[in-house]
Amino acid sequence: MKINSMKSSRFLLFSILSLSGLPAQPIPNAQTIHETGQQYREGNPLTGAADNLAIGSQAMFEANLKAKKNIVDMKPNTFLSLWNNPGFAVQFEKFLSAPAETSEDAKLYRQRIDRIMELLAPGNATKEHQDEAFDLLPLASQFESDANNCTTIHDAVYAAANARVEVQKLTELDRDLENQLKSAEYNYVHSAESLTLSREAVSKTEESNNDKNQNELLHATIDPAKDQVAALKATIQRNQQQIASTSLQAKLALQSLILQLFVQRRYQHVIIIDRFYRALFDDGDQSLQEFEQMADRLGYNKAAGQVKIIADANPKGAVASGSQNGGPNNGVGASAGAGTGGAGASVGNGYYNNNVGGDASALSGSGLNLGIENLSVESLENAFSTGMKGASRTFKSLSQLDAFANEIIRDVNEGVKVYQFLLEKSELESASSQLAAVFTKGEYLPSVRLLSVDEKRKTLAYAQLCNRLVNAANSGNIDALAEVTTQMKAMNPSFDDAEIRAKLESVKTASSLYVAQAKVAAARGDLPSVQTQITRAASLWPNNPELQDFSQHMTQLSDKASPQVQAVNDFTQLYGQKNFRQIWDDKEKYIAAISQSPDNQGKLKDVLSRMQDIETSIMRSQEIARRGDYAGAWEGLEVAFNKYPDDLKLTQLRAEYTTQSPDFVHDLRAAQSYEEKKEYGSALAWYLRSQKRYPMSDLAKEGIQRVVKLITSDAS
Amino acid sequence: MSRQKKSKGLPPWLITLLFLIVAGAAYFSLHQNFGDSSMRTVEALDPDLYYNEANSLRGNTYKIHVQIDSSLGDSPTRGRLFSVLLDSSDPARGAEILPILVPPELGSLTIQKGQNYLMKVQVVENGLLKVREAVKP
């Protein structure tokens, strides 16, 4: 392990030298590098994806730069904060894309709703108007935008009216029963008073028998009347209980519907049904206390389907009575409520009108099946349930509800006007916030529905940008976030992007710092730390250019671990630098490596041919020089130099021989210089002079021939 | 009779001798001045100057006393090109070698290797030495 560590250190030291811009030095031991590369690839314990993920998460906490979360959480303005709620964002975007409800159908629907409200307005709700409004409800419900709410109101009012009729019948029945009860009680008393029994006692035994007979006669005479009284009382009590429960059921059904519509923000419908309620139940009781109790029991119903509030107040089996003749205050009433399909079972004990005997009754509140049906999204169900509970606690009477609904309608209408004004003034952020608030409060109100697409289009574009901003922040794509922020700022100059910009810069800086730490770790030869820091940097800013550069360097270094790949890379680099001498010096290595690289085989062949030529010239010149013929040696190199002027060894040796035969070289260069200047007479003189100095000179000979030809040419 | 013999002057043999001496001196002097009256006033070519500054000598005429080295080329229109050896002023350097062009006008001139010539040459374009006159010394 220690040896491996040392090798690793050496490898990383080399990598850092490369990264720091220093020229790559030849690797002394290719096998060692190869081994190190293998270790880097296989032996690192932190190469698993899970480890990387853990490191990335840890980085977010360690750096305290949870930028993604921070950006999402921050509230640069109201509008943006609204978009943090995906459910709202989707609904609001749908609203902004929808055309204005200006069709004839929509207009007719609004007229009918207005007519209903007018008919039920306080002071105008006569019996005839109520009937007319009631008849208009199914007609208003024909329109899609009503979502059948008017039909629901119609059915609920109809059911409540029926309950009232039933209550009236029971009340009349009770009145008849009470009359009968009075007659029975009178008969019972009269029988008791008119009964006279003789007492003829002959003996003690006869006296005893006589008493028995008297008792039998007493019971035979009085008991029928007494039983009749008891039966009538029980019947009256049951009727009274039924009246109470029927009335309660009807009230609760309407109240729950009112609150349901309120939570749904159907404020016009709230006012309509509230006015029906007042017309139906004119006893002055508008308390919502019973409903509050029900709302507290509101549970979740996860059945899929339409959203609907279940408000079944039919207490099936909830009323029961018990009878015991044990005397006053000993009545035990047992009752049990079990609504079919509904929750609730209770036992109620209590005393009820037990003036005589031990009769007791209990009225169970159970059997009230209140819940939400047909809601497929649990979160929405919870929200609705919470809304119902909140509304029941907020409003203590229907009057409050009615007033609040009217206030909201007014507020929404005013908000729409404010939105249009702000839009006209190009204050987009404020306008969008205003529209979002208006939409939240009164999505279904006519003033909101009548906003045209043109009026909503700018807000739509701004909303989409906000949506993209949130998504970009969630995705953690710093570059995308910066781009969207720029677009938002361009569209809405008042958009406060300072915080986002600051966080973006912080994240970028942090990512760069991690890259720097990775480099430092690499310098120390600490491979796990390198990977840790790089993973941290990537988790913060995946597109960090420094990260990509570092990765490329690491990849190259990793490749260098293979001698063959390294040799090919070296060859490519040396060939690009025209350092053919270096290739020649290590030709054995490159020949072996390039054999597996067809692309470079042609280049290597050219290099070897070239260097062979140069080396031959050098060897020949050196041989000539050994004989003392430095001019000849120089000339041999000069020919090769003209062909390969960039070979260092050739250049150096040529310079050395130049100093050994300076006159010849001088004369020849002078000749060449004059030849280049087309002063052929002088050039010929210098060529002749150099040839005279070194008669074996090929260069001089060729120069003479060349210049003579030019001079004697007819064309010249 | 004896007085008349003393007044006769220089003897004839002496006069003949003096005449021969003067004639020989004149002949020698003539040949010492290249034997040609047209080259008598022409400046001799400095080889070093020619090698290094031929361009500045363009148009000038010089006389050279050379030995034919070799024939370099021949052109019907341009003439014949020879290399010639010129005695150097520095004996250590030996003879200088120069190219000369014998134009077609001097086609009748027979030139062979090793022959000595007294030539009047002109530095023409490209620094070439063009022969204007040539006589054997």
What one-character-per-residue DSSP string does B20-75 give?
HHHHHHHHHHHHHTTT-TTTTTPPBP-HHHHHHHGGGGTT-EEEEEEEEEEEEEEE
- A679/B55 CB distance under 8 A: yes
| Cβ(A368)–Cβ(A292) below 8 Å | no
Distance, CA of A105 to CA of A109 (rounded, Å): 6
Contacts of A682 in chain B (CB under 8 A): 51, 54-55, 126-127
Q: Which residue from A377, A320, A319, A317 is spatially nearest to A342, judged by alpha carbons? A: A317
Highest mean pLDDT among A387-391, A702-706, B32-36: A702-706
- A674/B97 CB distance under 8 A: no
Distance, CA of A18 to CA of A559 (rounded, Å): 13
Nearest by CB to B74, from A680, A683, A712: name it: A712
Once rounded to an integer, what is the mean pLDDT over residues A439-444?
Answer: 85
Asked if the C-beta of B67 comes within 8 angstroms of chain A's C-beta atoms, the answer is no
pLDDT value of position B6: 55
Alpha-carbon Rg for chain A, nearest whole angstrom, is 53
Q: Which residue from A42, A26, A43, A40 is spatially nearest to A563, judged by alpha carbons? A: A26
Distance, CA of A657 to CA of A646 (rounded, Å): 17
Write out A88-151 in H/E/C secondary structure: HHHHHHHHHHCCCCCCHHHHHHHHHHHHHHHHCCCCCCCHHHHHHHHHHHHHHCCCHHHCCHHH
In the stretch 7-46 of chain B, residues with CB closer than 8 A to chain A read none
Nearest by CB to B51, from A686, A692, A716: name it: A686
Task: Categorize the per-residue pLDDT at A691 as very low, low, confident or very high, splitting at 50, 70 and 90.
Answer: very high
Which is more confident, A576 or A325?
A: A576
Which is more confident, A5 or B130?
A: B130
- B129/A681 CB distance under 8 A: yes
Task: Categorize the per-residue pLDDT at A435 as very low, low, confident or very high, splitting at 50, 70 and 90.
Answer: confident
Q: Which DSSP string do the residues of A495-520 spell out, in sequence order? A: ---HHHHHHHHHHHHHHHHHHHHHHH
- A674/B127 CB distance under 8 A: yes
Percent of residues, chain A, with pLDDT higher than 70:
69
A33 pLDDT above the threshold of 80: no
Strand B96-102 with B129-135, pairing:
parallel
**How many CA atoms lie within 13 Å of A578's alpha carbon, on the beta-carbon side?**
5
Measured in angstroms, the CA of B45 and the nearest CA of chain A are apart by 14
In the stretch 81-120 of chain B, residues with CB closer than 8 A to chain A read 81, 83, 96-99, 101
The values of phi and psi at residue A497, to 5°, are -100, 10
Task: Categorize the per-residue pLDDT at B88 as very low, low, confident or very high, splitting at 50, 70 and 90.
Answer: confident
The partner residues of A447 in beta bridges, in order of sequence, read none
Measured in angstroms, the CA of B71 and the nearest CA of chain A are apart by 11
pLDDT value of position A701: 93
pLDDT value of position B130: 93
Contacts of B128 in chain A (CB under 8 A): 680-681, 684, 711
pLDDT value of position A350: 35
A322 pLDDT above the threshold of 60: no
For the ranges A150-159, A639-648, A659-668, B5-14, which has the lowest average pLDDT?
B5-14
Nearest by CB to B73, from A679, A681, A708: name it: A708
Task: Categorize the per-residue pLDDT at A672 as very low, low, confident or very high, splitting at 50, 70 and 90.
Answer: very high
Task: Categorize the per-residue pLDDT at A236 as very low, low, confident or very high, splitting at 50, 70 and 90.
Answer: confident
> How large is the greatest C-alpha to C-alpha distance in chain B, in angstroms?
84
Which is more confident, A128 or B29?
A: A128
pLDDT value of position A326: 39
pLDDT value of position A78: 54
Contacts of B125 in chain A (CB under 8 A): 681
Task: Categorize the per-residue pLDDT at A712 as very low, low, confident or very high, splitting at 50, 70 and 90.
Answer: confident
pLDDT value of position B81: 93
Highest mean pLDDT among A7-21, A298-312, A346-360: A298-312
Is this model's pTM higher than 0.80 or not?
no
Measured in angstroms, the CA of B12 and the nearest CA of chain A are apart by 59
Task: Categorize the per-residue pLDDT at A250 as very low, low, confident or very high, splitting at 50, 70 and 90.
Answer: confident
- B81/A713 CB distance under 8 A: no
Measured in angstroms, the CA of B133 and the nearest CA of chain A are apart by 19
Task: Categorize the per-residue pLDDT at A670 as very low, low, confident or very high, splitting at 50, 70 and 90.
Answer: very high
Task: Categorize the per-residue pLDDT at A687 as very low, low, confident or very high, splitting at 50, 70 and 90.
Answer: very high
pLDDT value of position A530: 83
Cα nearest neighbour of B128 on chain A: A681
Q: In Å, what is the CA distance from A656 to each residue of A19, A29, A645? A: 39, 36, 15
A57-99: pLDDT as tens digits: 554 444 433 444 444 444 445 556 666 666 677 778 788 888 8
- A712/B73 CB distance under 8 A: yes
Task: Categorize the per-residue pLDDT at B37 as very low, low, confident or very high, splitting at 50, 70 and 90.
Answer: low
Asked if the C-beta of B49 comes within 8 angstroms of chain A's C-beta atoms, the answer is no
Task: Categorize the per-residue pLDDT at A539 as very low, low, confident or very high, splitting at 50, 70 and 90.
Answer: confident
Cα nearest neighbour of A701 on chain B: B72
- B127/A704 CB distance under 8 A: no
- B75/A674 CB distance under 8 A: no
Contacts of B55 in chain A (CB under 8 A): 679, 682
| Substitution target from A690, A692, A709 for chain B, most B beta carbons within 10 A | A692
ipTM here: 0.78
Contacts of B77 in chain A (CB under 8 A): 714
User: At CA A77, angle to CA A75 and CA A83, rounded to 5?
Assistant: 75
Task: Categorize the per-residue pLDDT at A352 as very low, low, confident or very high, splitting at 50, 70 and 90.
Answer: very low
A101 pLDDT above the threshold of 60: yes
- A680/B128 CB distance under 8 A: yes
Cα nearest neighbour of A689 on chain B: B97
Enter the tokens of residue A662.
């300076």
Once rounded to an integer, what is the mean pLDDT over residues A19-45?
Answer: 38
pLDDT value of position A320: 36
A319: helix, strand or coil: strand
Task: Categorize the per-residue pLDDT at A39 as very low, low, confident or very high, splitting at 50, 70 and 90.
Answer: very low
Percent of residues, chain B, with pLDDT higher than 70:
85
Percentage helix, strand, coil for chain B under 3-state DSSP, each rounded to 5: 35, 35, 35
- B127/A708 CB distance under 8 A: no
Task: Categorize the per-residue pLDDT at A669 as very low, low, confident or very high, splitting at 50, 70 and 90.
Answer: very high
Distance, CA of A258 to CA of A301 (rounded, Å): 20
Q: How many CB pairs under 8 A join A and B?
A: 67
Contacts of A690 in chain B (CB under 8 A): none
A477 pLDDT above the threshold of 80: no
User: At CA B107, angle to CA B106 and CA B113, rounded to 5?
Assistant: 95
Highest mean pLDDT among A40-44, A470-474, A698-702: A698-702
Return mean pLDDT, chain A.
73
